[in-house]
Structure 1
Amino acid sequence: MPFPDTRPPHPLAWLEPHAAARRAAGLRRELRPRAAADGLLDLAGNDYLGLAHHPRVVEGAVAAVRTWGAGSTGSRLVTGSTALHAELEAELAAFCGAEDALVFSSGYAANLGVITALAGPDSLIVSDAANHASLIDSCRLSRAQVAVVPHDDPQAVDAVLAARTTSRALVVTESVNSVDGGLAPLRELHAVARARGALLVVDEAHGLGVAGPGGRGLLAGVGLAGADDVVVTVTLSKALGSQGGAVLGPAAVIAHLVDAARTFIFDTGLAPASVGAALAALRLLRSEPGRPAAVLRAAAALADAAGVPAPASAVVAVVLGDPEVALAGAQRCAELGVRVGCFRPPSVPEGTSRLRLTARADLTEADLVRAWAALTAVLAPAGAR
């Protein structure tokens, strides 16, 4: 008689059943490396101002590499802060109307750094239910009490703040929702936060370069730029076509982050190429303030092609419901020469899988005609139009 196998299961034995369950639910993900020039019209990326390949932006990156080298060589507090980093921080703060700014290696790191440095066990964080994963993770890592409130609901925020027992409180939201492109009620949220002695933290990842006067963000658009009880995070990887993130706000907050934000202290500084590209893009945006309006015109045209209402941002959401239907729609668009995003759970709630189209300021009339043809062919059979 053979001896029974008493060995414990392999520690990774759970991975295959887990992957099989995701495949069955239409939620398995895979990397699809793209070529430098694959011929597809890109309506999936976040290059809202069309600057990632702009000659001035590319030259900004190249010049920075020639001057500073390929890497920043260390954390910001050791050798990773260059004069170029300081230049970008000063110009970002001035452009957005903030007192000071601090550049991080990514928008994700900026959100993690600011939330965990400003909140702790003696704090309450009121977080919008539709917040980006980076904000959700920030709340979890902060060790603070966290209350998740319905999306864009200032009254719910007020009710939670009214009942708080902690010494500090933060209200955390995106200015422009990354999934549906909706605009947050920032004036109302700020009024509630101010009345209750809470700090408002606004992620302008999808607002910078698109919303507000000259692309200065939605906070500037509603008259709250530079408010002394508001802290802002931005990415450099969307409208500015580069890489990295930043926190903007009162000088005292920025000084505190240098002391306490772990994703700043212990992370290698943003590479010079990304800093140089972001700085060139910011200067180009300042010199060409019509680009944000061009983004919104393109977004309205894409929404019309998809049969959905025109958004107030660069993001056009086409909800199809079933994840496999959404994935098939995205694949069919690619076959027709148009790359679109496909958002499925957990990126969106169950039953709301969607195509996510992103507008760019440099889309031509021919591009929009091409997009119209593809979207019409794909969405009409899906019953989305």
Structure 2
Amino acid sequence: IVVLSCCCSGITGDDVETVAQTAAREVDARVIAVRSEGFGGDFRSGYEDAFRVLMDLMEPRGEAGIIRGTVNIIGAREGPTYTEWTQDLDEIERLVYAIGAKINGVLCGGCTVEQIRRAPSAELNASWCYDWGQKLGDLMEERFGVPYARTGQPYGLRATEEWIMGVAVPLGLEERARELVRQETAAVAREVETLRRCFEGKTALIEITEFPGPIRALSLASMAEEFGAHPIIVNFHPYTVKERLPSIKFLLGRGQNPEVILTRGLFSLGSFRSSSETEAEVEMIAAQYDDAIYLGSPLRQPGCPQMNMTTITGYPQYGYQGIRNMARLMRTGLEQASRPRSKLFRSVLYG
């Protein structure tokens, strides 16, 4: 049983931890408390605080032993609201099983209590998203001694291979993993050529400011550069820089340092995505380049070829399946670039 504190209990100072301890003595169940009042922190800090509490359910590694060839996927954010493309997890699971490893559980995204309990027995932790997984990986490594594969998001060929090898090498599955990479790379050769043709020599304007998160923008920038484009991230919101500093330092250490442009509309009150000022600024930025392509929200009308990277669900962007999907998306976006956008839709959004 998990007791969640709300704003009211937080304001009045209710001791939910003691309430949970008292309840545990009166019922035949484990009772834990998670401080979750909205004013107590942001989404990210609440996620990490909740994970710290769930770690109390985990059994020490020595008691259960290490399950060889087994990994935890950490950093998942599945819940009532749509916070991630769960289809990316399907591709990650496929790659893990393809190299001969197994998954204990996805922490904490739809896993069972039993999978949480035996999580320290996994041989390795691997991240769904380094940004969300790195803190959890550090916590479990410090407390239980579980190694953590520090890899970025598997966007494009290079990052996907790095993710696979980051998991395979510590598990002693390097040879099988390299064969998988060879086969999968050959299988997407046509799509890779499509991506090179679509990106080569272009300026890729990337705006992933809200869903599914700005770290995706950094991963897309890396992929765009891999295929020959000059990436520019538009509106990497300043408040995300501080909370994501460990992840940003990690990416900088891997050689990722794309150009970033912050528009004035970003600092306006309200949602900058629907701000007419920001829309005008994005259009102005796109007009400065003869070869611009836009990767981001379908709500924008930048006046250049545009790829929807934020609301198309059901199609993973991770791994080799992601390469297939994005090649199709890029090809369609370029082919349909001359089609007129709705003036009515624009007036509804931006006035």
TM-score where L is the length of structure 1: 0.26
Higher relative contact order (CA 8 A, sep 6+): 1
Q: Which has the higher helix share?
A: 2
Taking structure 2 as the reference length, the TM-score comes to: 0.28
